[in-house]
Amino acid sequence: MEATNQKTGLLKELEQRIRRAEHPRELVVDVMLALQEQYGYLSDDALEEAARLLGMSLLELEELASFYDFIYRRPVGRFVIRVCDSVVCWLEEGEKLGEHLEARLGIRMGETTPDGLFTLLPVCCIGYCDMAPAMLVNRRVYGNLNQEKIDKILEELRTGDERKGLPR
Ligand code: FES
């Protein structure tokens, strides 16, 4: 019941924002992200909802959704860990850290842990080369990583304060 109320509230809020917008299409990413936050990923239902709200075709939205890294068309974990695999991080042993994460989580890149908590993905340079090796958890950056730091971050994400306020 609470989830239904939240969904209804969100749809009303989005409808109002779209009504007020001079160019509603400019809100397309915001709308998709808001629906993704609600559903956990941009499901087919959520995509149809976005198309209805914005008066756009499903094809248009599908193309945009596939263009943006932070929009997920498949279910992902609560925490999406994106390990930078570009050259500066690679030189700073980022590859080993990716392997360390795979070992710690018991999954390979592209997979989600059975408890639905973590998804592991490679990502191109995230612009924090001065903090290499670096990774993103959802949209929060973690840099100057080493194995110990990664273990601590995972522990915090499982049980501690790192979970709070972490955007999807
Ligand atoms: S190469 Fe990893 S953040 Fe730039």
Q: How far apart are CA 41 and CA 106, in angstroms?
A: 22
| The pLDDT of residue 102 | 97
Q: Cβ distance 107 to 120 under 8 Å?
A: yes
Q: How far apart are CA 10 and CA 31, in angstroms?
A: 10
- Which stretch, 2-6, 91-95, 149-153, 157-161, has highest mean pLDDT? 149-153
* 18-48 confidence digits (pLDDT tens): 999 999 999 999 999 999 988 889 999 999 9
Strand pairing report for 118-123 and 79-84: parallel
CA of residue 82 to ligand 1 center, whole Å: 11
| The pLDDT of residue 92 | 87
| The pLDDT of residue 165 | 63
Atom of ligand 1 nearest to the CA of 143: 3
| The pLDDT of residue 28 | 96
The answer, yes or no, to whether any atom of ligand 1 lies below 6 A from the CB of 134, is yes
> For residue 88, what are the CA distances in angstroms to 62, 92, 142, 149, 151?
32, 6, 15, 19, 22
pTM: 0.83
* 100-154 confidence digits (pLDDT tens): 999 999 999 999 999 999 999 999 999 999 999 999 999 899 999 999 999 999 9
The answer, yes or no, to whether any atom of ligand 1 lies below 6 A from the CB of 119, is no
User: In the sheet that 118-123 helps form, which strands lie side by side, from edge to edge?
Assistant: 118-123, 79-84, 135-137, 140-142
Alpha-carbon 106 to chain mean position: 20
User: Residue 161 above 90 pLDDT?
Assistant: no
Atom of ligand 1 nearest to the CA of 86: 1
Atom of ligand 1 nearest to the CA of 88: 1
The answer, yes or no, to whether any atom of ligand 1 lies below 6 A from the CB of 84, is yes
Contacts of 20 by beta carbon, 8 Å cutoff, 6+ apart: none
| The pLDDT of residue 130 | 96
| The pLDDT of residue 27 | 96
| The pLDDT of residue 163 | 66
Q: How confident is the model at residue 95 (pLDDT cuts 50, 70, 90)?
A: confident
Question: What does pLDDT average to over the chain?
Answer: 91
